[in-house]
Chains A and B, each alone.
Chain A
Amino acid sequence: MYDGPRFLTAGDRAVVIEYGDSIDEATSLRVRRLAAALSLRHESGIIEIVSTYRSLMVHYDPLRLPRAHVDAIVLDAEQHLADVTLPPSRVFDIPTVYGGRYGPDLEDVAAWAGIAADEVVALHCGREYLVYMMGFMAGFPYLGGLSPRIAMPRLPSPRTKVPTGSVGIAQEQTGIYPTETPGGWRLIGWTPVRIFDAANDPPVLFEAGDYIRFVPATSEQTQAIARQIAAGTWTPTVRHRE
């Protein structure tokens, strides 16, 4: 993490406020604090604030708010970060069926790691993952903190179709594919939980700053949940984290 924020120009209607160049929770926390502090101000010329691993992109309307004012607003908010109370992080339980046709790369990951498939599953579901940011595609959560023991690189050649709900890993990250797309992450499981639905507002279950825990489930259990989701009778278990 840098000592202070770096302001990087991204054209005439966006500015990047960067806190570091690595993926770590302390940097992410500072990013989310500043995002919260800026959101609270409701500046009319600020269009949207997008948090990423280590920076915020502030999209602004230069016809309403000159860049110098944006910088001043950010610096002022920066002075008061200590006053910002982030809401307690939510932890979402995501029922996941591992291996077989649901996770076609599980055995390869096990072989790469030199452990049994069960151990891969235990390592994957044994911790809570921070949602650092969303990007790549609508609703795709970048989850950091995957065990280095199973941090296998991406596929050399991406699949042309990754099914909706696939749970993948890539280096020390894991994620869930919100809709069908081409993709290069190693697929180890599948969840019936709809993490993106354009009919909802907000369209995603969780936001940057929340945590996700993968909970192993059988094929039958996930199919039953899928039916309940279709009927609108299922909601994920959500807890608050201290």
Chain B
Amino acid sequence: MRTIEVLEGGFFTTVQDLGRDQYQRFGVAVSGAMDSFALRAANRLVGNADTAAGLEVTMLGPEVRFAQAARVAVTGADLGACVDGRPIQTWRTVAVRAGSVLSFSGQRDGMRAYLAVDGGIDVPVVLGSRSTSTRTGLGGFDGRPLRAGDTLPLGEQPPGKGALRRAMRTSAIPSYGHSHHVRVVLGPQDEAFSEEGQLTFLTAEYTMTPQSDRIGCRFDGPRVAHRTNADIVSDGTTLGIVQVSGDGMPIVLMADRGTTGGYTKIATVISADVWRLAQAAPGDRVRFGAVDLDQACARLLEMEAVLDALVTPERARPAGPVEDVYDEDAGSELAADGFGELADALEQTGLGRDQ
């Protein structure tokens, strides 16, 4: 069996896939990657299905050793990913040899990086998902963050071209920074807020607080005023829904949220922007702007198009064992030729598609 050995767990590293979304009616949290765009991109870079599990690395990375050669991809936050101590490019396929150690030298941009390995992290499926829910100790690796000494099983390498080599268009690689514009659709309880309260929410600048986590992103800033009160008879929640409790501060519910809640919800972050909050750090500034449902769907389609394009620009080499194809000079060659721009150019000409 192919495995990865965890040498250091990092600050908070968990196994995540796209979540456990069939069990909300039983109160089971969805969990899954906070930035599912980055996880899906990482999976596509190594030839996995979108639903394969990878590692979500928060701020300070783990150190993992590959028992066998593998194709990997690191996406999301730039946490200084290195293989055997040498920096690697993110948002592209990278080959690692048996015995190689992948580590992270330090946080540069964003909060959460994703590591996909061809074949996926093959922990048991619990209630339809491999996602870790640390609050209930469900799924992932024993329901908890990784620590030194854990051995993660890998799935079968996906069939197909031995020399898979993919990269995200440079122009499509997000940079996160410390100031974020997050689009929302108003509702379901926007009527519970005064006009002034709604205006405050949509115009003020909020600062993300250190109490933010996988359950929710919390903010400090001007108070969002209710018409009467903040409590309702509990109803459903969804990813990105913005609840405002009696203190008037918005909380955006994220992957590990409870399935129901009893606070008024002024708006919901659009699917195409949830990753912006997943990558925001405490102290970052966030502004919320309203769009309508059509605009939200248009943004979602754009995001899907970026992911779909990711699978297309691909340069095949003669098939062979992974370690023959990817060695140190292959990395530097590609680093030098700016594969992202090349892919851009190929994409525009319609070349570079699968043969």
Residues of A within 8 A of B (CB): 8-14, 16, 18, 21-23, 47-57, 59, 62-63, 66-67, 133-140, 142, 178-179, 196, 198, 201-204, 207-208
Q: Are A202 and B268 in contact (CB under 8 A)?
A: no
Q: Are B233 and A53 in contact (CB under 8 A)?
A: yes
Residues of B in contact, count (CB < 8 Å): 48
Q: Known contacts A59-B238, A62-B297: does B126 contact A198 (CB below 8 Å)?
A: yes
Question: Which residues from chain B contact A179 at a C-beta distance below 8 Å?
Answer: 136-137
5 cross-chain pairs, A with B, having the tightest CB-CB distances, nearest first = A57-B236, A135-B260, A11-B268, A8-B188, A134-B27
Contact residue among A21, A57, A140, A204 (Cβ-Cβ distance under 8 Å from B238): A57
Main secondary structure on B side of the interface with A: mixed
Main secondary structure on A side of the interface with B: loop
B304 interfacial by beta-carbon distance below 8 Å: yes
Question: Which residues from chain B contact A52 at a C-beta distance below 8 Å?
Answer: 233-236, 260
Question: Which residues from chain A contact B135 at a C-beta distance below 8 Å?
Answer: 137
Q: Known contacts A21-B232, A23-B233: does B27 contact A139 (CB below 8 Å)?
A: yes
> Smallest Cβ distance from A161 to chain B, in angstroms?
14
Q: Are A134 and B236 in contact (CB under 8 A)?
A: no
Q: Are B21 and A59 in contact (CB under 8 A)?
A: yes
Contact with A along B232-249 (1 / 0, CB 8 A): 111111111100000000
B345 interfacial by beta-carbon distance below 8 Å: no
Question: Which residues from chain B contact A53 at a C-beta distance below 8 Å?
Answer: 233-235
Measured CA separation A204–B234 after assembly (Å): 20
Q: Are A55 and B235 in contact (CB under 8 A)?
A: yes
B194 interfacial by beta-carbon distance below 8 Å: no
Contact residue among A12, A22, A208 (Cβ-Cβ distance under 8 Å from B25): A208
Question: Which residues from chain B contact A47 at a C-beta distance below 8 Å?
Answer: 21-22
> Smallest Cβ distance from B300 to chain A, in angstroms?
6
Which of B26, B133, B137 has most A Cβ within 10 Å? B26
B138 interfacial by beta-carbon distance below 8 Å: yes
> Smallest Cβ distance from A179 to chain B, in angstroms?
6
B198 interfacial by beta-carbon distance below 8 Å: no
Question: Which residues from chain A contact B269 at a C-beta distance below 8 Å?
Answer: 11
B106 interfacial by beta-carbon distance below 8 Å: no
Q: A62-B271, A135-B27, A140-B27 are in contact. List 9 more A-B contacts (CB 8 A).
A: A12-B293, A12-B297, A59-B238, A134-B27, A135-B260, A138-B27, A138-B29, A139-B27, A198-B136
Question: Which residues from chain B contact A178 at a C-beta distance below 8 Å?
Answer: 27
Q: Are B186 and A9 in contact (CB under 8 A)?
A: yes
Question: Which residues from chain A contact B139 at a C-beta distance below 8 Å?
Answer: 198
Question: Which residues from chain A contact B187 at a C-beta distance below 8 Å?
Answer: 8-11
Which of A9, A135, A140, A179 has most B Cβ within 10 Å? A135
> Smallest Cβ distance from B54 to chain A, in angstroms?
22
Measured CA separation A23–B27 after assembly (Å): 18
Which of B233, B265, B268 has most A Cβ within 10 Å? B233
Measured CA separation A50–B25 after assembly (Å): 5
Contact residue among B23, B133, B261 (Cβ-Cβ distance under 8 Å from A203): B23
Contact residue among B28, B265, B268 (Cβ-Cβ distance under 8 Å from A138): B28
